[in-house]
Copies of this chain bind each other. A is one copy, B any other.
Amino acid sequence: MTDIVFNHATVRERADMLTFLRLCSERGLETVSIWGDEIAKVGETDALSVLNDLGMTVSGYNRVGPLAADALDRAEAELERAARFKADHVFLFTGGLRENEKDLSCARRRIEDLVGSVLERARNIGVKLAIEPLHPMLTGDRTVISSLSHANSLCEALGPGIGVVVDVYHCWWDERLAAEIEGAGSAGRLFGFHVNDWLIPTRHLLTDRGMMGDGIIDLRGIHSMMRRAGFEGAVEVEIFSTDWWSREPAEVLDIALDRCRCLFNRE
């Protein structure tokens, strides 16, 4: 059986964090991925106590970033909160270009330096950082790291304590995907695997991701690449979608669980 983890973002519009934790626990799930802003909404004490009462653990903590010049103090607070939730890894959200900035290479060098600074703090606090390259259509606006190759090179340069999360939505189109997953696996840097689907047509750059099976991504094929590269972690469902956000959270979780079991447990 492949373990399944839900990212709270999948049902965040209609289920607060406490509801989300209970819905996951009722379905026999033991691990979740969570968001700092959603913790703040329900209060950290309540969030931690429900998490512990249900005996659940945290996979990914969202997030550190965007990485502006003043981001380091805020980053430290997020890293410390992630540590209190015993998260397996913390997502780095690089953010995009500055206002009126057009030199992408220069922005990349600046952000890479900032990632290095955040990593030092993360090592001191004892949490791992995860880079999730975002789809090229989000370059400049929300990220400057648009490929797994770039993320892998950066991790290689920075050393221990940082790895990658492969989200099929962001990486599926890349002709280098199999090679880069293999490379990340050999280096022990595959921290997570996120699933959803690419819809045709896609009507919005941020909020029109599909439920697994409704789009054109070869989810089984990419999952096999992950397994061959030595990844033994869970499949994490993360769907940003106004359509799915409008539906009953319990129903969304049940449909996603069915799809995951059908797609990932036959192998």
Contact = CB atoms under 8 A, between A and B. Distances in A.
B137 A202 contact: yes
Contacts of A216: 97, 101-102, 140-141
Contacts of A146: 173-175
Given A102-B217, A201-B205, A147 B175 contact: yes
A108 B175 contact: yes
Interface in A103-134: 103-105, 108
B102 A140 contact: no
Please classify the interface of chain A as helix (H, G, I), strand (E, B), loop, or mixed, using the class held by over half of its residues: loop
Contact of A200 (B140, B147, B174, B198): B140
Nearest to A221: B103
A218 interface: yes
Q: How many protomers of this protein does the assembly include?
A: 2
A245 to B, nearest CB: 19
Contacts of A147: 174-175
B150 A102 contact: no
Contacts of A104: 172-173, 218
A147 to B, nearest CB: 7
Residue among A103, A147, A178 with the highest chain B CB neighbour number at 10 A: A147
B218 A103 contact: yes
Contact of A205 (B149, B150, B202, B218): B202
Nearest to A200: B141
A139 interface: yes
Contacts of A150: 175
Contacts of A198: 140
A188 interface: no
18 contacts: A97-B216, A101-B216, A102-B217, A103-B218, A104-B173, A105-B178, A108-B175, A135-B136, A136-B137, A136-B174, A137-B137, A137-B205, A140-B200, A146-B173, A147-B175, A150-B175, A201-B205, A202-B205
Given A136-B136, A205-B205, 15 more contacts: A104-B173, A105-B178, A135-B136, A135-B137, A136-B137, A137-B202, A137-B205, A140-B200, A140-B216, A141-B200, A141-B201, A146-B173, A146-B174, A147-B174, A201-B205
